[in-house]
Structures are given as structure tokens and as C-alpha cells.
Amino acid sequence: MNGFKTTMLLAALTALFMALGYTLGGGGGALIALLVAAGMNLFTFWNADKIVLRMHNAREVDAASAPDYYAIVRDLAARGGLPMPKVYVIDDPHPNAFATGRNPENAAVAATTGLLGMLSRDEVAGVMAHELAHVRNRDTLIMTMVATIAGAISMLANFGLFMRGGDGNRANMLATLLAVFVAPFAAMIVQMAISRQREYGADRGGAEISGNPRALASALAKIAGGAARIPNAVAERNPAAASLYIVPALRGGGGDSWFSTHPDTGNRIAALEEMAGEFGEPAPLSAARPARVSALGPRPARKRGSALDPLRRD
């Protein structure tokens, strides 16, 4: 049912794009809009991961450069029956994470240094399990495509008045004004509806993969608090990217309203707490690894960095 709803919402975005093209250019404009939408979807299908990672200046890490962080993703991917994704770190104090890629075979997961420095090992595992659930559900491709089309609708609307501004037909001018102001708003609503719907599914999938819903709930509380205090430069430059993250990257991005990019964090935490009763005791990824470890940063009294420190060099 979720797949059907998402398909319908994606189709609604494409229809909006075509309707805007028709309003601005008649039948020819609608055809051009359809071709442009198809071209954007095709380009995004093959290049979604590259677009998002380059936008964040993400750098790839491996078992040598970030041993414990990489091991967490590797163990979770195996537990979730997924191919090993590429693993990235973003040098940014803003705590957040996302997944991208057109399918599980071409996926990537990324976390900021701010997130790794804030969470315990179990909490990092909960976050990465959430992102792997997005990969398993193929949410990453859909969300990137939706963001691309929504952005294109807004861009096309900005040219609307210039394209038809010299037309003396009052009806045409009213239609153009309606398209310019209504179409971007409707596109934003559809984009946000898809994002909120997907986050609840990824929370549940992440809890199933990690076996520890409470660790993910704890991580969401910490990340949401940190994200509200520390700005996200990428999301501020490109608001369409805000829907990619595990928690809202912009203020006002949550709350279970039509104008929210994410569900209310408190509601997500409550749902995870309910799931914890179903799961029983959490299943550790490896009994040989410590249950909790500082994610980034050596304490003042210590000389050696944490096992999750992506900058650590032994």
C-alpha cells in the first residue's frame, strides 16, 4: 500500500509539472514538461547518489580509515540481507545522516562527524540501521526524484510571469498567476507527504535490522536537539535536500503537519518505545565490542580517539 501511495504522489507531481507547462505554453508546453520530467527522472535514477554526496562534500571511508563505523554498517547490512553499501563521512558539526543510491546494489550511507561525536555505538548502529532500511525499501531513489521534480516545478513557476506577461488575455493571465503560486505550493505538500510517510517505515525497518528500537529512539532525541541548535549549510542553500535526513535539517521541518518534512520526533520515539516491548532484549551486533563508546573525540584525559572516530589514525 505504501508503494502504491508513493507512486500516486509521484504521478501527481509529474501531472502538476505538465499542468504548469500547459498553462504557460499550451499543448506544446505540456509535452515539453513531460519530456523534461522524464529526462530529470532518468538522470536522477543514474546519478542520485553522486548528486547528493557531492552536494555534501562527503568523503568515502573504509575499514582502515574508520574501522568501527565501517564495521557497524557492514554488520547491519549483513543482518538486513543487503549488499555492503559505500560508507561516507561528512565533516560537519550538524548531527545528521542519510542514505542515497538508486538500488541496494548501488547504495551509500553517510553520517556527519557531528552525529558520530554525539552518539554511543548502539545509537550510531540504530541510525545506520534506519538508513539501511531506507535502502531496502528503495526510498532513497524516490525521495531524490521527488525533490528533483518539486524543485523543477518551483523553477518553472518563477519564469511563468515572464513567459506569458505580455499576453493581453485576462483569463490566460489569471491562469498563469494561479500556476505560478499554486503549483510550487502543491509540489511542496506532495514532497513532504512522501517524506513523512517513509520515515515511519524506515524507523520500523531500522529497529528490525538493529534489534534495538530504544537505541534508535535515544539517537533521534539527541540528533533532533543537536540539529535544532546547529545549522545545516547544505539544507539552507537547497531546502529540497532537507527531506533526505533522518531528522529535520531546517527549523519547522517536523511536527506531523502538511508543512513538515518529517514526522514529529516525539511521535517517532513513542512508536519505537512501543516496538521495544515486542522485541525484548536488544541483540548486540558483536559481543566482543563494547556496548557504549564515545563516537568521536578523545576526552581531555585520554590520548587515544574513539573507535568510531573517522579521523582516527593508529
* 199 given a catalytic annotation: no
Task: Report long-range pairs for 55-59 (Cβ below 8 Å, ≥24 apart).
Answer: 55/234, 55/238, 55/241, 56/90, 56/92, 56/110, 56/234, 57/90, 57/91, 58/88, 58/89, 58/90, 58/110, 59/88, 59/89, 59/90, 59/91
| Residues 97 and 110: beta-carbon distance below 8 Å | yes
Among candidate residues 202, 219, 199, 207, the one with its CA nearest the CA of residue 278: 207
- CA 132 from chain centre, in angstroms, equals 11
Tell me how far CA of residue 218 lies from CA of 40, 44, 90, 252, 262, in angstroms.
Answer: 38, 34, 22, 21, 17
The catalytic residue among 60, 131, 274, 278 is 131
The C-alpha cell at 194 is 512522501
How many Å separate Cα 192 from the centre of its chain? 11
Q: How far apart are CA 199 and CA 193, in angstroms?
A: 10
H or E segment at 60? strand 59-61
- As annotated, the active-site residues are 131
